[in-house]
Chain A
Amino acid sequence: MRLSKLLYITFLIIVCLSCESETVNTYKNTPSPLEIPILFQENILAPVVPIDNPQTEEGIALGKKLFFDPILSSNNTQACANCHAPENAFTDSSRFSDGVDGFFGNRNSMPLFNLAWNYDEKFFWDGNTFSLEHQALVPVTDPIEMNNTWRDVEQKLKQHTEYPELFEKAFGTTTIDSSLVTKAIAQFERTLISANSKFDKYLLGEIELTPQELNGFNIFMDEARGDCFHCHGSDKNPLWTDNIFHNNGLDETFTDLGLGAITGDPADNGKFKSPSLRNLAFTAPYMHDGRFATLEDVINHYSEGLKNSTTIDPLMKKVSQGGVGLSENDKADLKAFLLSLSDSEFITNPSFKDE
């Protein structure tokens, strides 16, 4: 008898608790975990997805709409996608992007893909912001970008005919604030995964590379020639970047201190994040300040254009001679290999385009 009573009471408590939780929160979103490419699964660590911002179908859809909507800017003329265009692997084909008031920055817009694999979570060329959610906060209020206030953004979104419902679906609340806006954008940005280049397919055994591309890869991996792999990944690291900050010998003196302006350490002056070498076919111009219009310019820089400075990375070779001095054939082969890292399916993926 006692056992029966005990079980009955326990059952009632469980039922009551269940009822209580249902009345508190009625919204239900749909989990949508990142689809991790095979080469990433096999070779590198899992992506970074914050516990307090899991990927959901509703959150991603909201983030995508916000990414392409100029409502975030002060005069409703500029969306994230203006400077991060899908057809350019989410960068800007202009050297510097112009903001809502016609002002230009001094750095090239960074391409956006495979951002969830930035393990240190330091974003921007100088790493000034931690986490993708915080990164999305910055352009909205930057006076030379969207030049808006979050209060204005929040007001516009609250008064919008669609957004309150979309926020409720994504986050279970109609209280719209900067935190939820950036969470949604970050969810969308994490879906921007690029892993279908010709070289990826080669590694998966699906296609062959040309002899020129193969030789280019060998130059890339050869410490005595390209030595690109120490900073730019390899077949073992399909991100094609170390996401670390280096001075790659662009200048003898610095007008832009890069990481040094963030850390305050003179030893960091002139250091900028290694960009991924994926999608170079779509991301010109190159370098943090977009100074090189072509891949030939980039290769020539490393081959014979290095400039010495106190913080130049020790991995830069033969600096006193301007670089390693690649032959013209090697330069052409290296370029062919680099282009094999471009992923045309990524820039045409309808999931990543404005509807």
Chain B
Amino acid sequence: MKNIFPILLITLFTLISCSEDSEKSTSQTNISFNFNHTWDGVSVTNADFNDIKFINENGEQLSIECLRYLISRITFTTSNNEKLVLSGYNLVDVTNNQNLSLISSTFIPQGTYNDLSFTFGFNNEDNSGNYEDLNSASWFVPEMLGGGYHYMQMDGKFINNADEEQGYNYHAIRAANNPGENPTFPQDTFFNVNLGEVTVTDNATFNIEMNIAEWFKSPHRWDLNILNQMLMPNSDAQIKMYENGQNVFSLKSGD
């Protein structure tokens, strides 16, 4: 009985020590991601919004008033093709400077990985979930188009062929046909972004860049006079967004 306190204390300290060791070993680290935005190499922040200052591949002058997009399933792929998938998703809100940085709550072993990748939007399984934060952010897609969530909302104005300012809503979602109770889906329009080989060092930070101009560039030179609004029920437009999105993201640095 006399020795019970020291024993309890030693046991307690041992448990605490074990707990700390299990949470973070010397070979594991947390990861940070920064989401940066450019227009063909020129940095874009929300301070650049609301001015008609950009020119797209088709020669149209345009502004951005709102830009937010969803990424999910950030994945590190090892040389053994083992996939370490970070849980959760991130709604990057450039308009309000929110979620431009993300710190993973999952510790990743340090070392070199064959690929760092993420999903633009949600894959179909994730897209069928119900997410309180995304609903609260009015990020949902009408059930008549299959439900789920937007992948991206980019809104602004452009100078149309009549030399007038006109609104555009470049909203990327899962492409759907036959809007109504039983829509059909011609093809998936979420996509995986592969950023290539990376080395994870202690407290690594990866800078991921979206070149906004690419959304209007290739393989489809986007004509805002033709495709400007009401694009959510337009599956052809959605597929073009999907195809133009393939080269939008790149990894600028990782350290």
By a beta-carbon cutoff of 8 Å, the part of chain A in contact with chain B is 2-3, 6, 42-45, 117, 119, 218, 221-224, 227, 229-231, 233-237, 242, 267, 308, 310-320
Contact with A along B147-176 (1 / 0, CB 8 A): 000000001110000001111110000000
Contacts of B1 in A (CB 8 A): 3
Please measure, in the bound complex, the distance between the C-alpha atom of A35 and the C-alpha atom of B167, giving whole angstroms.
41
Give the nearest-CB partner of B153 in chain A.
A230
- Say whether B254 faces chain A, with CB atoms less than 8 Å apart: no
CA distance A119 to B133 in the complex (A): 11
Produce 1/0 per residue, B38-60, CB < 8 A to A: 00000000000110000000000
- Looking at chain B's contact residues, the main secondary structure is mixed
- A222 near B144 with CB under 8 A, answer yes
> Whose C-beta in chain B lies nearest to the C-beta of A268?
B50
For A231, list chain B residues within 8 Å (CB): 138
Report the minimal beta-carbon distance from A49 to chain B, rounded to whole angstroms. 16
A317 touches B230 (CB 8 A): yes
Residue numbers of B with Cβ under 8 A of A are 1-2, 4-5, 49-50, 65-66, 130, 132-133, 135-136, 138, 140, 142-144, 155-157, 164-169, 179, 229-233
The one of A3, A119, A222 in contact with B2, judged by C-beta atoms closer than 8 angstroms, is A3
Residue of A3, A224, A236 touching B135 (CB-CB under 8 A): A236
User: B230: which of A2, A117, A224 is its contact (CB, 8 Å)?
Assistant: A224
Shortest beta-carbon contacts, A-B, top 6? A314-B167, A267-B50, A221-B142, A314-B155, A236-B140, A236-B135
CA distance A316 to B4 in the complex (A): 74
A222 touches B179 (CB 8 A): yes
Contact pick for A45, options B2, B136, B230, CB 8 Å: B136
Give the nearest-CB partner of B150 in chain A: A230
B residues near A237, Cβ cutoff 8 Å: 135-136, 138, 140
Shortest CB-to-CB span from A205 to chain B, Å, is 15
Residues in B whose Cβ lies below 8 Å from that of A224: 230, 233
Decide if A230 touches B138 in the complex (CB within 8 Å): yes
Residue of B nearest to A221 (CB): B142
Given contacts A235-B143, A312-B167, A317-B230, contact A44 B5 (CB under 8 A): no
Q: Is A320 in contact with B142, judged by CB distance below 8 angstroms?
A: no
Enumerate 11 A-B pairs (CB-CB under 8 Å) in ascending A order: A45-B132, A45-B133, A119-B136, A222-B142, A222-B179, A231-B138, A236-B135, A267-B49, A311-B50, A312-B167, A320-B164
> Which of A3, A45, A315, A318 contacts B5 (CB under 8 A)?
A3
- Do B233 and A233 touch across chains, with their CB atoms under 8 A apart? no
Contact A2 B157 (CB under 8 A): no
A223-B65 in contact given A43-B135, A233-B138, A312-B167 (Cβ < 8 Å): no
CB distance from A325 to the nearest CB of B (A): 13
Chain B residues lying within 8 Å of A222, measured Cβ to Cβ, are: 142, 144, 179, 233
